[in-house]
Structure formats: structure tokens, C-alpha cells
Structure 1
Amino acid sequence: MNRLTTAWAELDLARFPEDSRDTLRAWDAADEYLLRHLDGIDDAAPVDLSGAVVVVGDRWGALVTALAARNPEQGSEQGSDSGLVQITDSFLAQQATRANLVRNGLGADAVRLLSTQDPPPERIDVLLIRVPKSLALLEDQLHRLAPGVHEDTVVIGTGMVTEIHTSTLKLFERIIGPTRTSLAVRKARLVFCSPDPGLARVPSPWPRTYALPADVGPFAGLTVTNHAGVFSAERLDIGTRFLLEHLPQRRGPQRVVDLGCGNGVVGTAAAMANPEAGLTFVDESYQAVASAEATFRANAGSRTAAAEFLVRDGLSGVPAATVDLVLNNPPFHTHQATTDATAWRMFADSRAALRPGGELWVIGNRHLGYHLKLRRLFGTCEVAASNPKFVVLRAVKR
């Protein structure tokens, strides 16, 4: 846990799940720059935050926690379009926000929490955007939010200089209105956008679909749906392709989990290979789970009752010793930080969820050394398949 100092409060903030060994903060210089600007810097007047304030992409809830502390009387006003609203694609960000609000004595209902799949507020007076890594996600969210923006809406984006590009600014200009940027401060920059009510906007191009190529065997032609921001939006990535070529051959009424499901292509392929299997698709991204459900529905026909779709932190909520097979392509970064913490939690969750004799199959880059972690957790790990870039690992719960 670290302390964020603002002009109006000192806040204890942490990421989620909280880990005392984690040295990464729940905010960065871009968040601090935006908060200073809102309070008035360089002789500028503070931004009026008395109306409907929407914060998009707040990574660990630092921004909305600080704003809730600045205007504690504003509240979330649940069920209305006024008050303070957070919109995020991340279940972990929502959980971090709830924990940080309570930690600082603000109450979990001080902010209305929405996902990127929820209908956005109909009126927005202040729109604050933490620029995401995915340009596609930014494009999709700007399209969704634009109808609620009016000519007097204050629109400000923030990000590190490495996250804000010419293409970023062009999106703001094309969907919202004229855009300019601030000077860089501590490698962070602000984006100021003036809404243009007369701007002609085209519909959002998201979600997108594509068909799997002919060289993936029995899964050729499978229709894949990707909502904005989900990995492998345009075509099948080479890691997933390699896993599809080496999926475990299972038969019978087994429970299979696609953990970190992304667009759901792996779990859908497993369902098609074993029609008697029950599938669980899990991801911490709302966009990903929506993509997985669309992919499954488009290809599994009458099997729709045999699948569930969960936005979760790993396998939390899945009963212990109830799963026969977990398929996993773990991420090795969170935002800009490279870390194996997520993979480690996924492996540990999988071991707890698996029945004795159940198996975890993992696809990963060879250099990541996942076999070492799996051997520590499971006591065994074997290479099911490998090529110069990727390795498919199999760990069995004894």
C-alpha cells in the first residue's frame, strides 16, 4: 500500500488483489498530473466537478477515490446520470476501487461503478479518460460516450508520453472534437478536447468478427468475435494457433475451464471437440467475456446451456475440486508492468479447482519458465508440445 498526496486529502491506495510484496503503486504520474490540473495549476481555475463526472479507464480506482474525497457530498446518486461514475473494462480495477474507497472512509457507494459493456450515462458534464494501451478500446469507448457529451462538457485525457500518440489525438478529434495537448510533466501529458456538437460520426466498428483459417484442422471456419481491446482482434495469434493444434483429446461429460478466455476461441474449440463437456469461460475483462460468449454462441449451436461466462479474478467463486481440465494462456504483464503474479495466481487457482487427476494445460513463450512454477505447485509438469517460440505444458493434480 502507498499514500497518494493531493491538495485536499492524503489517500492510502493499493492494487487488487492486495499483496504486501507488490512494490507497484496504484497510480502514476499521469494520474497525479490530472488531479493537479483539476484542482487548478499555473493560475488556472479549478475544474467545476459539481455535475455528472465520468472517469474512464481508472486503472486501480485512484482517480475516483481522490475525486470522491474532494467532493464527498457529491456521491454516486445510484440510478441517475449525475454524480461520480467510473467506467472500466477491468473486474480487478472495480474491486480495487471498492477497496480503496472503503479504506479511505468514503464508502463503497461513493462512486457508481459501470463496466465497458454497461450503457453509459446519458449526460456527461466532465469526461476524464485514462488513455488505455489499446487504441481500439479508446475508439470504442469514445463512440459509446459521445452521445452523452455536450458542447460545454470538459473532456480531458491523461497518460504517460509513451501512451499518447498522434493516432490517439486523431481519435479524439474524429469522434469528439478539436484536440490539443499539454506540455509533458514527469513524462506525463494531458489531452484537452473541445466537443463539437456538429461533428459527423460514423458508427463504432466494434465488435469485429473473423473466421479461423483453413490450416487449423477441425476448427477451420470457426467464427471469432472480438470486442474492442481484446487480444487478437484481427486474426488468430500464433500462440493460440499452436495450442489449438495440440488441444488435449477428451471425451465425456467433463467440466472444462477456459481461464483468461479472451475471445473464447480455445474454450469454444474444446466444446466442439467434446460435445458432452460443460464449459466455463473466465476473464477479468468484461470485453473479453462478452467476446467469448459471442464466439461460443456463434459456433456451438444447441449447446448454449452447457456454458457459463464469468467475469472474475481467476477462479474465485469456482468450487474446489470440481473441474477436470483448465486451458490457460496467462498474461505476463499488467498495463506497462511485466510481472508473473497473474500467472502464478492462475496456476494456484487451477490447482485448487481441479479434481484429483484433473489437468492444467498452459501455453506460453518458452523463455517465461512456467514449467518451474507448475512443478512447485503440482509436483509434476511435462511438455505436451513445443516449437522454437512456444511450449504447451501439462500439469496433473495428484
Structure 2
Amino acid sequence: MEQLNTPQGQFQLSRFPIRPKDSLRAWDAADEYLLNYLNDENIALKGNILIINDTFGALSTALATHKPTTLSDSYLAEQGIKQNLQHNHLAPDSVHFINSLQTPNTTLDLVLIKIPKSHAMLEEQLHRIRPFINAKTTIIAGAMTKMVHTNTLKLFERLIGPTKTSLAVKKARLIFSTVTDINLPENPYPLSLNLSPEKFTQQEYTMSNHANVFSREGMDIGSRFFLETLVKSQPVSDEALSMVDLGCGNGIVGLIVAERFPNAQLHFVDESYMAVDSARINFQHAFPNRSAQFSTMDCLGGLEENSVDMIMNNPPFHQQNVVGDFIAQQMFIESKKVLKQGGTLWVVGNRHLGYQGALKRLMGNCTVIASNKKFVVLKAIKR
């Protein structure tokens, strides 16, 4: 835990989840720039304040006394903010949380935006807040300079109004947008995508993909390779198995598994609210007479130990802009806990990530089921 010094006060902040020997801070220079600017320019911190994409809670914690609302697509971000409020002895209800599928309930006076990695996500968020802002609303966005592109500014101009940027400070930049009457284009999200029958299925699926869903415009090659391998390796079965699509995205892996296991109970899990909702929509469209569970949570923290027969996992190798295998390692550890004896964990990953060694150390076994130049599909059994 490190201390963030701002004009609003000093705050002890940590990233969520807390990991041993984590040397990364829970804020960046753009957070500092935003908070300093609010103070230096005497921006009114009253009325209805909305903070968007506050990854670990630097903005929400520093402004908690002003009762902001925080909008995020990340369950982890929400938990991180709550954790940092607690660290700093701030009331848990000092920040109101809404997820990316919800909207504000009143006109906004101040909107602070951390620019997300996904351009589509930013576009959807600007559409979402547009009905709740007016010419009196102050809108300030912040990001590291590498995240601010010409397309970013054009997006603000197209959906909000005239836009300008600040000078860079510590490789961070602010964006200022003035709300004007414009001919607002239609929100294109969620996208609707038709998946034609492929090697792994004879069905055609219509996929609904929210803006923050990975590979929302088409199936990624890793998932395609994973599904082709699963279909070759797993015969159709009438067993009533308990299965989890971990890090489900739009749920395509779970859909194909559900097709091959008609009596299985599927559970779709992701930390993205948009991903889980996309999976829900897609499963209900594909199997209208079948039930499944859909959970937004941190890995498998909400599942009972020794309760699952099979887990399918395509782990992310980054959290926001930080690359590493820490999320995959957490997913593997929690998978071992929730699997029954004899239960299987199926994983697809880039060859260079070394998941095979990690699984062998954790589970005592790991088999390479398939591989190509870029990916491996691994299977580990809980003994």
C-alpha cells in the first residue's frame, strides 16, 4: 500500500486484489493531474458528480466526501474502490456504484472520465451519459498520453461537443469537452454478430456483444482453436455435469459445450458486467428452454469447493494496461479448489506464457491436448 498525496488529502491506496510483493501503484499520473486540476482551477465539487472507469479508486477515494457516483464495467474495480474507502476510514456509502449496464438517474454537474483501453467502450459510455449532461455540465477526461489519440478527440467532438486537450504533465493529458446540441448518432452497441456453422458446431449462432466484450466483432483465433480441440476431444454426453465457463466473454465457449452436453448445468463467470450480460443474452437466445447461471465476480470466489466437474478457461494476460500471468495463476488456484476429485480444467493460452508448467506444479499433472504455432490447449485433472 502506498500513499497518494493530493490537494484533497493523503490517501493510502492499494490495487485489488492485493497480491504479495506487488510493486505497482493504485493510481497513475492522469489521476494526479485530474485531482490537481480540480483544485487549481477551483472546479465546483458540488451537485451530481460522476466518475467513470476509476480502476482502483484513486479518484473516488479522494473525492468521497463529495458523494460521487462511480460507473465501471469492472467488478474488480468496484471491489478495489470499496477496499480503499475502508483503508482510509471513509464510509462505504460515500460512493454510489453503478455498473456499465446502468445509467445515472439525474442530470450531471461534473463528469470525470479515465479513458479506457477500448475505444468502443468509451463510445458506449459517452452515449450512455449523453441524456444526463447539458451545457452547464463540466466534462474532464484524463489518460496517459499514449492513450489519447486523434480518434479519441473526434469521438468526444462527435458525441459531446467542442473538445480540446491540455499540455502533457508527467506523460499524462487531460481532455476538456463542452456539451452542445448536436445530431447525435445512434448507439451501435451491443453489436449483433452471426456465427456461421464451423468445425466445432453445426448450428448458427446470433451473438449479442456489448462494447467491452473481447473480440466483439468476430471470434478470436484462440477461442476458435480451443473449441475445435474441445469438440474433437470431448464426445457428446448426456451426463448432468456441472461446468463453468471462466472468463466467459460473450459465452461462446459455454454455448458450444452446452450444445454437446445437453443435460449439463452451465455457469458463466466474468469480472466484466458487459461480458456476463452478453453471455446471458446469447445463452438464452440459443437455448430458450434451458437455464444457466451468470455471475459477475472475481475469478471463482463465489463458488463452493469441490462442486464443479469441468472448467473451461481462456485466461486474460493483462489487467488494464499491466501485462502478466497473475490473473491466470489466480484462476488456476481457484479452479483447483472448486473442482471435484477427477474434475478437469481445460485451458487455452499463448504458447510463450508457460501455463503448462504452472498447471503441472499446481495440479500434479498437465497434458497438452493440441498445439499450433501460437496456442496450446491444456488439460489438467484434479487428483
Tell me the TM-score range normalised by the shorter chain. Answer: over 0.9
Deviation per CA, 1:60-109: give whole Å up to 9, x if none. 111110111xxx2x33xxxxxxxx10000000000010010111011111
1:255 paired with 2:239, answer: no
Alignment of 1:207-286 (within 5 A): 207-247=190-230, 248-249=234-235, 251=237, 252-286=239-273
Q: Residue 370 of structure 1 corresponds to which residue in structure 2?
A: 355
Matched, 1:111 2:90: no
Tell me which residue corresponds to 1:392: 377
Cα separation, 2, equivalents of 1:155 and 1:340: 36
State the match for 2:188 in structure 1. Answer: 205
Counterparts of 1:189-200 in structure 2 under 5 Å?
A: 189-196=173-180, 198-200=181-183
Q: Specify the code of the residue in structure 2 equivalent to 1:285.
A: S
Match of 1:78 in 2: none
Q: Distance in 2 between matches of 1:23 and 1:286?
A: 28
Q: Which amino acid aligns with 1:59?
A: T
* Cα pair 2:346 2:378 within 8 Å, conserved: yes
The Cα shift of 1:216 comes to: 3.1
1:86 aligns with 2:70: yes
Give 1:217 shift.
3.7
Q: How many residues align?
A: 379
222-231 or 187-196: which moved more?
222-231
Inter-partner Cα distance in structure 2 for 1:283 and 1:219:
27
| 1:141-180 superposed matches below 5 A | 141-180=125-164
Q: Residue deviations 1:234-287, cap 9 Å, x none?
A: 111100000110113352100000000001000111111111000000000001
Equivalent residue for 1:382?
367
**Contact 1:212/1:219, CA 8 A, preserved across alignment:** no
Q: What TM-score do the two structures reach when normalised by structure 2?
A: 0.97
Q: What residue in structure 2 maps to residue 309 of structure 1?
A: 294
SS of 1:142's equivalent in the other structure is helix
8 Å Cα contact 1:15/1:96 also seen in 2:
yes
CA shift, 1:219, in A, is: 4.8
Q: Indicate the SS of the match to 1:346.
A: helix
Q: Which amino acid aligns with 1:274?
A: F
Are the equivalent residues in 1 in contact too, given 2:309–2:339 (CA < 8 A)? Answer: yes
AA in 2 matched with 1:341:
F
1:220 Cα offset (Å): 4.5
Give the Cα–Cα distance (whole angstroms) in 2 for the partners of residues 349 and 336 of structure 1.
23
Query: Helix, strand or coil: the match of 1:118?
Result: coil
The equivalent of 2:170 in structure 1 is 186
Amino acid at match of 2:242: R
Taking every aligned residue pair, what percent have the same amino acid on both sides? 46
Superposed, 1:7-86 pairs within 5 Å as: 7-40=7-40, 45-68=41-64, 72=65, 74-75=66-67, 84-86=68-70
Alignment correspondent of 1:332: 317
SS, match of residue 223 in structure 1: strand
Equivalent residue number for residue 131 of structure 1: 115
Q: Which residue of 2 aligns with 1:79?
A: none
SS at structure 1 position matched to 2:289? helix
Q: Which blocks of at least 5 consecutive residues in structure 2 are unaligned?
A: none
SS at match of 2:285: helix
Q: CA deviation at 1:227?
A: 0.1
Equivalent residues of 1:383, 1:393 under 8 A apart: yes
Pairing 1:121–2:79 present: no
TM-score normalised by the chain length of structure 1: 0.93
Q: Distance in 2 between the 1:136 and 1:300 partners?
A: 28
Deviation sequence 1:5-45 (CA, Å, 0-9, x none): 012311000111112311111100111111110111xxxx3
Q: Matched residue of 1:5: which SS?
A: strand
Rounded Cα–Cα distance in structure 2 between residues aligned with 1:309 and 1:275 = 18
Q: Secondary structure at the match of 1:152?
A: coil
Q: Distance in 2 between matches of 1:387 and 1:143?
A: 41
2: CA distance between counterparts of 1:219 and 1:347?
31
SS in 2 for 1:281: strand
In 2 relative to 1, CA 128–385 (structure 1 residues): closer, same or farther, beyond 3 Å? same
Aligned equivalents of 1:27, 1:311: Cα separation in 2: 24
Per-residue CA distance 1:96-149 (angstroms, 9 max, x = gap): 100101110111111001100122232110010000000000000100100000
Contact kept in structure 1, 2:139 and 2:178, CA below 8 Å:
yes
How far apart are residue 210 of structure 1 and its match? Answer: 1.1
Alpha-carbon displacement from aligned partner over 1:191-242 (angstroms, at most 9, x marks no partner): 000000x211122100012122343342542222210011011111100000
Instruction: Measure the CA separation in 2 of the matches of 1:285 and 1:219.
Output: 29
